[in-house]
Amino acid sequence: MPAFPAGRHVLPRPDAAESAAAALDAREQREAFTPAGPVPPPRGAPNVVIVLVDDLGFGTSSAFGGPCAMPAADRLAADGLRYTRFHVTALCSPTRQALMTGRNHHSVGMGGTTEMATAAPGYNGFRPRSAATLAQILQGNGYSTAAFGKWHQTPPREISAVGPFDRWPTGEGFDTFYGFMGAEMNHWYPLLYEGTTPVEPTRRPEEGYHLTEDLVDHAVDWVRTQHTLTPDRPFFTYLALGAAHAPLHVGPEWRDRYRGRFDDGWDQQRERTLARQKELGVVPPDTELAPWAEGVPHWDELTDTQRKLGARFMETFAGFTEHADTQVGRFADALDELGVLDDTLFLYLLGDNGASGEGGIEGSTVEHRLGHGIVDDPEEMITHLDEIGGPSTYPIAPAGWALALNTPYQWTKQVASHLGGTRDGLIVRWPAGGASGGGLRHQYGHVIDVLPTVLDCAGIPAPFSVDGVTQQPIEGTSLRATLTGAAAPETHHTQYFEMCGNRGIYHEGWTAVTRHGVPWEMVPTGRRPFTADVWELYDLTTDWSQAHDLAARYPERLRALQDLFLVEAAKHRVFPLDDRVTERENPRLAGRIDLLGDRTSVTYRGGMRRFTEETTPNVKNRSHAVTADLEVPDEPASGVVIAQGGRFGGWALYFTDGCPAYVYNYFGLELFTVAATAVLPPGRHQVRLDFDYDGGGLGRGGTAVLTVDGEKQATGRVERTIPYYFSFDETLDVGVDLGTPVTDDYPALDNAFTGVIRTVRVDLAAAAELDGGLHQRVLRSQ
């Protein structure tokens, strides 16, 4: 076992004692001042790059036999290694938290996404300080560190201008961050952060802007600058792309590369992919296709309209994926140009979970509808066929394609019980360390193995203490031996899985699994007790794809694995099980900490912006009022007073042609507008919107009343409202509507209010019954 300097076990290194003055006259001082800093990196420590692509699935990339051309992945695999039994957690935030900490996701509080956090210890969304991140460890050992793209690990209540910022990327070990904080982002109109400062792109879609290209531009610029200024320091770059998570946003020139390629459907694609996987050797020659998921139609059972739509959704997904990989290739080229690529431990994770089945049977041009149980009509969607992938849509593909993209395995994202949700391709390239030659590695691995593998390759021990906090044990194991040894013994023998109540346990070649829910049924329609779930048993030493359930043949082995799951689940804080999905995305329903607590009134000032949904008053499912104190200019006023959400769901109070108006956007399906007809004269005015919620349940309608200076100007009905969340990517803004516009009554981006906004106050009903009980109509008046 190598001997490590003592300073590597306690991070950051304590300040060294300064020597006393060595001279009476400063001109005679000979000792140079050496500031305390990180422990110098070990001699020969490699640069580290981790690229994570979102929602991909094992059978998606050309590198693993899939239909999506990924030239960079192909090139890196040809020069590196492909890992064929690498696993993730089945959902975004949990995989990322496990990746960064080397611990199982429940062990570090991330049993679901950050937006699904609850009060339970394994699900609260707060990384314990006893689980330092890979970035913190490398930073403390002399590495330069930077993260670009999707983060999705910070508690939503902390994503604001007041933080706290210790769970932002720059508080978790990264010197630099440029990207977005939540689950997904509009790739045409993103809202981004540089460090902890909100920023917007300097270009627009019509000027050629695309988020993936922007992220890679920043990553390339950072690496070049780092190499110029501190070439003696190794770097760690974490590049986590939003692709290919919904929304599937890509230019038509990329989508059209696949025109007609998927016209024969997902059943045929599964067959083609499996054949190609066997040719590549990423699955054994005797691998069978796992059973088709119940409830998903086969291609020949669809109507012509459904098939035409389905093909276009998949063309868009494939173009989006190829475009993203091409940008990864551009980043690898930049490393090569600097002469550092071969000295870089490059890990390319082709997915943080399986491909997403959250698009349901039909897919959708607006993803958030499906999260609320709304299914798009194919006959209506087909009228927007050529818009899919563009700025006017927010698309997600049908579940049938997710099943095909997870070939040869069963099920999809969220379903942690089956390999379709948890097995993704991993490419490792490090010629200087022996990971080269285009080989295959079939040893079992899990995302928690990444941290110990990187530390092992860099010659850095896991610290005992970080920032004065004793560290909990790392739960992953190093894969270092497999880099140079195709026959190296496995070190990861047991692994539990759980997500949204779907459960599984792997132990030395066998898996016992039980699927509790269906990924596209995210809104509660009834509840099945966990005790009613049926367990399946698979021998993965002879059945690579979980094609043959052996539960009836080996009941004693199944029982032993079920007991082992209970042991592992208790150890890693999996209990209590929670099968809620969309319901947990409303903080009041989830029962997690609410930043605003019991406050029923919040006052904003003009110019305040970029308030995420969990840092604003929760106006959903309750009566509320919005009161603006503003000054109208000499010319007729226009622009936004306050807006929350955007084109695909939200509300706004705004002016058009000098008249105030209120609009409620119901998922882009319906716009309910209440507008005054009288132009407000110049001067100071109070504009107020009262929303009287009908009550009697979630997502009901209400009456909107618009008043100016106490005089009623207009009234109207909002027949239905959004019950759980408006958006994962849009914000509440005062004096402007950033991102996409809630209504086309004002333009995107250039929609600032032309007058002066003094204050905007949001008042909530004094009490709101979210269980369908008494409707409270009393608003606080101030």
* 435/470 Cα distance (integer angstroms): 33
Q: What Rg, from alpha-carbon coordinates, does the chain have?
A: 27
pLDDT value of residue 260? 98
**Does any domain span residue 5?**
no
**Does any domain span residue 65?**
yes
* Same-domain status, 406 and 486: yes
pLDDT value of residue 109? 98
- Name the domain boundary from 477, 506, 535: 506
SS3 111: coil
* Same-domain status, 615 and 527: no
CATH of the domain at 371: 3.40.720.10
* Same-domain status, 353 and 411: yes
pTM above 0.85, yes or no: yes
**Does any domain span residue 455?**
yes
Instruction: Chunk the chain into consecutive blocks of 10 residues (it has 782) and report each block's average pLDDT, rounded to whole numbers.
Output: 66 74 74 71 96 98 98 98 98 98 98 95 97 97 97 96 96 98 97 97 95 98 98 97 98 98 98 98 98 96 98 98 98 98 98 97 96 94 98 98 98 98 98 96 98 98 96 98 96 98 98 95 82 97 98 98 98 96 84 85 96 94 97 98 98 98 98 97 98 96 98 98 95 98 95 98 73 35 34
Query: Using the 8-state DSSP alphabet, how is residue 633 labeled?
Result: -
Other beta carbons within 10 angstroms of residue 531's beta carbon come to 5
**Does any domain span residue 780?**
no
**Does any domain span residue 263?**
yes
Helix residue spans in 122-210 (DSSP H): 134-140
**Using alpha carbons only, what angle is made at residue 577 by residues 571 and 578, rounded to the nearest 5 degrees?**
140
- Name the domain boundary from 480, 506, 532: 506
Q: Which two tokens stand for residue 768?
A: 């709101």
* Same-domain status, 263 and 292: yes
The residue written with tokens 């930043």 in the block is 595
Q: Using alpha carbons, select from 636, 734, 716 the residue that is nearest to residue 682.
A: 636
- Name the domain boundary from 585, 618, 642: 585
* Same-domain status, 156 and 57: yes
**Does any domain span residue 490?**
yes
Query: Using the 8-state DSSP alphabet, how is residue 462 labeled?
Result: P
List Cα–Cα distances, 167 to 13, 107, 255, 494, 743, in angstroms. Answer: 21, 16, 37, 30, 34
* Same-domain status, 443 and 511: no
* 196/178 Cα distance (integer angstroms): 9
pLDDT value of residue 718? 98
pLDDT value of residue 17? 64
**Does any domain span residue 36?**
no
pLDDT value of residue 593? 78
Tell me, letter by letter, the H, E, C secondary structure of 400-456: HHHHHHCCCCCCCCCCCCCHHHHEEEEEEEEHHHCECCCEEECCCEEHHHHHHHHHH
**Structural domain range at position 676:** 596-764
CATH of the domain at 552: 3.30.1120
**Does any domain span residue 512?**
yes
SS3 572: coil
Helix residue spans in 338-371 (DSSP H): 367-371
* Same-domain status, 438 and 550: no
229 burial level (CB within 10 Å; 0-12, 13-18, 19+)? exposed
* Same-domain status, 235 and 343: yes
Q: Say if CB 199 and CB 219 are below 8 A apart.
A: no
* 571/579 Cα distance (integer angstroms): 20
* Same-domain status, 358 and 486: yes
Q: How far is CA 679 from the centre of its chain?
A: 44
The domain tally of the chain equals 3
Letter string b/e over residues 185-219, b meaning 16 or more CB atoms within 10 A of that residue's CB: bbbbbbbbbeebeeeebeeebeeebbbbbbbbebb
* Same-domain status, 578 and 682: no
* 341/332 Cα distance (integer angstroms): 7
Other beta carbons within 10 angstroms of residue 339's beta carbon come to 10
* Same-domain status, 630 and 549: no
* 584/597 Cα distance (integer angstroms): 17
* Same-domain status, 548 and 467: no
pLDDT value of residue 276? 98
746 burial level (CB within 10 Å; 0-12, 13-18, 19+)? buried
